[in-house]
Structure 1
Amino acid sequence: MIPSRAQIPVDKLALAVVHAPDRAIPAPAGAREESLRFLLQTAADSGVNRIATRPDGDSERWLGQAWPFPSPFQVTVRTVPIADGVDRVEARARRSLERLGLPRGDTLLVSSASDLAGAEGRALWDRLLALKDRGLYRRIGFRATIEDGPALLARRFQPDVVQLPLNMLDQRAEHSGVLSELAGLDVAVHASAVFAGGLLFISGEALPPEMHRHAPTLSRIRLRLAEARIDPMQATLAYVMGRPEVSAVVTSVGSAAELRAVIAAAHAPAPALDWAALQLEPATAMAAAGPNSQGRGRVSSAA
């Protein structure tokens, strides 16, 4: 029997490719496709084999035209909102595979937990189960925030995967027990919003208006990291990747250069930090507000 390969940091990485002009390296007209191919080839060469997509604009089609051959990627697809009905959701999930140029996908996620909580939630889930039974998707699940009560939804629908926001500044999923509850239900957890909307990389007036009151706390956290000689990207990746319940860490990248920076940070030695002291507000206080509260310490929603 051949022993399994020990897990390395890139095993947990899942890439959400950002096509926004302000995130991509400036390039001549017509070079976008080549830049995307280079990014995906860099990922494949580095051992990253997960890609997370969203059904917006032409992003799926661009990816489908840029995969390395043969493609090594396991692809996660999101549904469109249920507002147009479950028929539309199913048709678009099938269409996503066509646009991506794939015979099947790895995971299909309901874009918002509120779609499952509504009157057509069960009908929607049954459509996803049918797609899984037909072999179009290997796993199904949903995206949620802590306020959605993801563990309760997981007990009701028995998903394979739940995607949650989790980062060093917002540790509620860990300290409220949600991660351990989902693990106990044999649900794979995909962590999103791992960089907390970039809050560790901006300061002062550049912060979103609603975050200005947190500026002193963010400054203290940056100072602690600087004193420990730890880069903020390294720290937040180490926190999320260090959670044993998390099977995938979704990080957005806009270029091969950004990807290389993420991979380098992921491979850096795990720092010995007091994680609880580095959250924006005490997780226990945020969790005490209950799963339906907006929570003053909410950093960001799922990416």
Structure 2
Amino acid sequence: MKKDLQTKSSKLILGTAQLGSMYGIGNKSGKPTKQKAIEIIRYAFSKGIHTLDTAPGYGDSEILIGEFINEQKDKQEILPTIITKIPSVHLSSSISSESIDFIIEQSIRASLNKLNLKTIDVCLLHHPNDMVTYNGHVVIGLLRLKKEGVIKKIGVSVYTPEEVKMAISLGCFDVIQVPINILDHRLIHSGLLHELSKCKIDIYARSIYLQGLIFLDPNELPPYLQSAKEPLEKLRKLSDQTGLSLSELSMLFIREIPDIKKIVIGCETISQLKRNLEIITLPKLTDDIIKQMHLLFRDIPERVVNPTMWK
């Protein structure tokens, strides 16, 4: 049983945005203390979550992970797999490719220093526009660092199906981090998830709780999220009908998609983490429930499922 739990939990990635900064529309706990944040990382690792997702933009996240990595080194224990990101590159249009290389390498070296590592397992472009900015020199810079062994795998974090298509067309990424959840079926019905798998690009699902939106009371939404009221009401009705909680429906829906390799989950407390670990081991959803999900939430407007359009 313990081995089975470890196997299922290994599908999870601990997202650390909430540990290093105030993050998520449904975040009521706030940013945890440094001690509690490291305790969460320790607990996740002890339960088989051996991949951590971070970024320079996540406040103290890289530093917290670096302290945990030092602990592991001191105990001569295995180290976590680390995903970090390159912040968006904003320079003058006439900047040289050498300058772009320097900025990218500077960002990676800063992350390595905070993480107490010599190589990055996975490095993603944090902003998908950088796939094409500066005539592709940002991607070229990442490829160079991969060739030199500073980065093992490269990829991109995207928001839209169009950005997924762009990532596929470039033909150079090992990993893609995509938004997908019980309300956001854009990549499923477009066939893009399957296309990514055919291209042997590892798919990491993020935003499975839509930054906490699915937990909000439909009657207490801010004005800019009123379009989410109807789908959230339908979700609650489905929860009542099935006897499954909102988090159970949301996690299990994503877990059952065969093309998805890993699922990024964030938390502010150990109790939230424990709950996610419980859910990942639950039995499969019935075919009838999955069919209802596809019927109910097939065409939710992008202004609901894309957080960049909320305000």
SS in 1 for 2:49: coil
Among candidates 85, 106, 111, match of residue 78 of structure 1: 85
Matched, 1:122 2:129: no
Correspondence for 2:54 = 53
Partners of 1:117 and 1:54 in 2: CA distance: 21
Note if 1:64 corresponds to 2:66: yes
C-alpha separation between the residues in 2 aligned to 1:197 and 1:150? Answer: 20
CA distance in 2, matches of 1:25, 1:300: 19
Alpha-carbon offset, residue 16 of structure 1: 1.1
State how 1:179-194 maps to structure 2 within 5 Å: 179-194=193-208
What is the TM-score when the length of structure 2 is the normalising length? 0.82
Counterpart in the other structure of 1:195:
209
1:231-273 deviations in Å (ceiling 9; x for gaps): 1111111111111111111111122222111111111212215
Q: Are 1:153 and 2:155 an aligned pair? A: no
Deviations 1:49-82 (A, max 9, x none): 1100010233211221133413531000110111
Aligned twin of 1:9: 8
Residue 253 of structure 1 corresponds to 267
Decide which structure has greater helix share: 2
Q: Contact 1:105–1:137 (CA<8 Å) still a contact in 2?
A: yes
Aligned residue runs from structure 1 range 1-303, under 5 A: 8-17=7-16, 18-19=18-19, 20=21, 24=29, 32-56=33-57, 57-67=59-69, 68-69=71-72, 70-84=77-91, 86=100, 87-118=102-133, 120-272=134-286, 273-275=288-290, 277-278=292-293, 282-283=297-298, 285=299, 295-296=302-303, 298-300=305-307
Within 2, Cα distance between the matches of 1:248 and 1:298? 20
Q: String of CA shifts for 1:172-201, please: whole Å, max 9, x gaps.
A: 111111101111111111111110122221
- For the Cα contact (< 8 Å) 1:60–1:100, is it kept in 2? yes
- Among the aligned pairs, what percent are the same residue? 20
Question: Using the alignment, how far apart are the partners of 1:176 and 1:217 within structure 2?
Answer: 20
With over 3 angstroms needed to count, the CA separation of the structure-2 counterparts of 1:258 and 1:295, relative to structure 1, is: closer
Distance of 1:280 and 1:101 partners within structure 2: 47
CA RMSD of aligned residues (A): 2.6
Mapped to 1, the partners of 2:5 and 2:67 lie a distance apart of 32
Which stretch of structure 1 is more off in the superposition, 205-214 or 258-267? Answer: 205-214
User: C-alpha separation between the residues in 2 aligned to 1:112 and 1:15?
Assistant: 20
Q: Are the equivalent residues in 1 in contact too, given 2:218–2:228 (CA < 8 A)? A: no
For the 8 Å contact 1:280–1:297, the answer to whether it is kept is no
- Indicate if the aligned counterparts of 1:64 and 1:99 stay in contact, CA closer than 8 A: yes
CA distance in 1, matches of 2:31, 2:196: 42
Cα displacement (A) at 1:147: 4.2
Length, aligned pairs only: 285
Rate the CA distance shift 1:39–1:131 in 2: closer, same or farther, 3 A.
same
TM-score if structure 1 supplies the norm length? 0.85
- Relative to structure 1, the CA distance from residue 49 to residue 103 in structure 2 (aligned partners, 3 Å threshold; closer, same or farther) is same
The secondary structure found in structure 1 opposite 2:243 is: coil
User: Residue 266 of structure 2 aligns to which amino acid in structure 1?
Assistant: S
Report the Cα offset of residue 144 of structure 1.
1.1
Describe the SS at the equivalent of 1:260. helix
Partners of 1:164 and 1:191 within 8 A in 2: yes
Structure 2 residues not aligned, in runs of 5+: 92-98
- Structure 1 position 211, deviation (Å): 2.4
In 1, the alpha carbon distance for the partners of 2:43 and 2:231 equals 36
